[in-house]
Structure 1
Amino acid sequence: MPDISDNTLSGLNYAQMTKQQRFAAFLIILGPETAASILRQLEPAELESVTLEMSKQPFLTQDFQNEVLKEFSALAVQATMGICGGLKFVHAALEKGVGAFRASDVMNKVSPANNRPSIPALQNLLDMEPRPLANLLKHEPPQVIALVVSYLAPERASRILAELPEAQREHVVERLATLAPAPVESVERLANALNQKISTTKPSRPPSRTGGVMSAATMLNSMDRETATNILNALEARDPDLTQSIRNKMFTFEDLAILDTPSLQKILREVDLRDLAMSLKSASDRLKGRMLGSISKRAAETVNEEISFMGSVRAKDGDAARQRIVEAMRKLETAGEIDLNEAREASKTALN
């Protein structure tokens, strides 16, 4: 496997590149709008030099882009910890430049939170199976549940949420989305208190996540559509602004309708035609038209035939097919291949 610091098309090793070459690559990754705002701050001589380097850059592979983002995100964290909102500023800048999910992935790698001290008592809780952990937590206040699940990967967190009483779920999502960093000592005291309620311990593993709107949105994305919708609807009645913030970070099957044709084509190249047919069985005419209009005529005919012969589709199977398509969309957003935030803004502009 090649070293991820190799830019194979340029023949340059990342470690051998000059700072100016790396900076030029970073600006390219951020995109024209964000790069332009940075270039305006440079002196004329610097501007000319960096622009020249940008023009020389070859196609940047995904691994090479990750290497660039990792270095510049770490530098930005160090430079802004005392000004402009620190990590929040860095995350906001990255999100604008490379998309929400890719920004979160980068920040997870460089954030000081990843270097926090190990908390054995908490790790013991995180190693529990979802159902026993949910049974332990369901008698706790929503704030406590949110703090614990914030340390879990979204998929595991969503499984625990699904085990909780329905009336409790939206309260936990609300607390998770507004969760502030907690002192290690407080987390340790809480974990010790919860551990007193269980009789067994298991091997530890390090915590990996923190709370926030993105954490809540990612967890809801991992749940079935009906449950996630019910939670959001209940939460919206109490806090519309927070609910909208969560929705803005979520990927949904209906979001496909707002994407341009090239983006849709990229997604559908990753999708099995049977999944496409199953997901479109109960879709709106608008979405069905956009999807089928983005593939070849022959492929569209195949999908239509599949739809007509498959009969009724169980809601569970339809949701699973849609989720696989959403996952393909999410991966392309993370890789910087599509920009859902830009599509949403364009859609809002078109409606106004």
Structure 2
Amino acid sequence: MSALLPDIKSVPSGSEVRALTKIQKLAGLLVMLGPESAAQILRNLEPHEIEIITAEMAQFGIISQELQGELLGEFSDVAVEASTAISGGAELARSTLEKAVGAYRAGDIMNKIAPAKRASTPVMQDIADMDPRHIFNLLRQEQPQTVAFVLSFLAPDKASQVLALLPAKQADQVLERLATLAPTPVEVMEKVLEVLKSKLGVKQSRPLNQSGGVTTAADLLNAMDKTVSRTLLLAVEDRNPDLGGAIRQKMFTFEDLTSLDVPTLQRILRETDTHDLAVSLKKASDKLKSLLLSCISRRAAETVQEEIAFLGVVKAREIEAAQQRIIAVVRQLEADGELDLAELRRNAAYEMA
């Protein structure tokens, strides 16, 4: 979408404004409204909509008075005091997101839509090609922040193996640093690379992507042994409850129910309130909706479908709350030892291969 907006930093005429998409115009308006007001609007949107709009907000530079007037003409019910030029950009996008969805979720979204520019990193590629134990030997004496930095370049499976080799106290500190890792400036990366270069020879130059944040930490834990994963997460939750909760929430999403088998889903649904099921399916994918309705009796499925039809418009936060209550059932069953999510996911992946 941003490809349609190559020169937005210097839009000079109304004719170019008319070429913008509705999403781009809305993003421009939110920049003009400022973080506080924009956050109020973003809170009512779906997560994927927030990401799309925030990505466009980050593309805006200076919004001239002429462009402001053109945009306001598209939103006649909005009154904005705009006597000077207004700046958009990644920092405003991050500020708005933090007010709308909190710091951890904001960091996650910004990692997706505005990754830091970086040079090619051959040293990191060398490390990515190494055996997990060799990576562990390379990093065992490094600070948790440095270890987290390196793990952010690795695939979850390999990163989880390295993390499992670290002492428990060091491992949970690394996980916490990884979950709060922002895109790293090139100058900081270069300093870390200087240390690693002293331990490694450099091969060919190939670019790698860094991926820190709550989602990366959750993916890493999902790839680990269940007991080790639980121990690390509890340690993070004990030291930083908000961050630990954010990681736990990311470790299993509502759509992940599609990875579970029918007997497991039937067990989960026996503990689920019918109203919560109806609300949670209001915006669910057709695949998940069909799957869950097939796991209950025909009469119960008809009742849920009727309730969905009579619900009318449901706020996104109410749907998410209902989905989280169902996920809470899943977690409780796992805590009681009645199901093993990691094993079920591995089996599902094997069957799809």
TM-score by length of 1: 0.51
Structural mapping, 1:67-106, within 5 Å: 71-75=56-60, 79-81=87-89, 85-86=91-92, 88-89=94-95, 92=98, 103-104=109-110, 106=112
Q: Structure 1: any 5+ residue segments left out of the alignment?
A: 7-16, 43-61, 257-263, 303-311, 325-352
Is 1:277 paired with 2:287? no
Equivalent residue, structure 1, for 2:232:
231
- 2:261/2:344 contact within 8 Å kept: no
Whole-Å Cα distance in 1 between the matches of residues 169 and 267 of structure 2? 28
User: Alignment RMSD, CA only?
Assistant: 5.1
Letter in structure 2 aligned against 1:205 = R
- 1:124/1:204 contact within 8 Å kept: no
Aligned with 2:344 (options 285, 307, 318): 318
Structural mapping, 1:52-131, within 5 Å: 71-75=56-60, 79-81=87-89, 85-86=91-92, 88-89=94-95, 92=98, 103-104=109-110, 106-107=112-113, 110-111=114-115, 113=116, 115-131=117-133
The superposition leaves residues 95-154 of structure 1 with CA deviations (integer Å, 9 ceiling, x where unpaired) of 69xx879945751xx44x1x3223433443333243321232123221220121233354
- 1:151/1:207 contact within 8 Å kept: yes
Letter in structure 2 aligned against 1:247 = R
The superposition leaves residues 243-273 of structure 1 with CA deviations (integer Å, 9 ceiling, x where unpaired) of 234335x142xx53xxxxxxx7xx77xx47x
SS in 2 for 1:234: helix
Cα drift, residue 299 of structure 1? 5.1
Aligned with 2:196 (options 169, 190, 194): 194
Equivalent residue, structure 1, for 2:241:
240
Equivalent residue, structure 2, for 1:22:
20
Cα drift, residue 277 of structure 1? 2.3
- 1:153/1:209 contact within 8 Å kept: no
- 1:179/1:212 contact within 8 Å kept: yes
Whole-Å Cα distance in 2 between the matches of residues 182 and 25 of structure 1? 29
Q: Structure 2: any 5+ residue segments left out of the alignment?
A: 5-14, 35-47, 64-86, 282-288, 299-337
SS in 1 for 2:59: helix
Equivalent residue, structure 1, for 2:72:
none
- 1:147/1:179 contact within 8 Å kept: yes
Equivalent residue, structure 1, for 2:141:
139
Structural mapping, 1:250-261, within 5 Å: 250-252=250-252, 256=254
Cα drift, residue 318 of structure 1? 2.5
Whole-Å Cα distance in 2 between the matches of residues 321 and 176 of structure 1? 28
Whole-Å Cα distance in 1 between the matches of residues 165 and 207 of structure 2? 23
SS in 2 for 1:75: coil
Query: CA, structure 1 residues 279+132, in 2 after alignment: closer, same or farther (shift >3 Å)?
Result: farther
TM-score by length of 2: 0.51
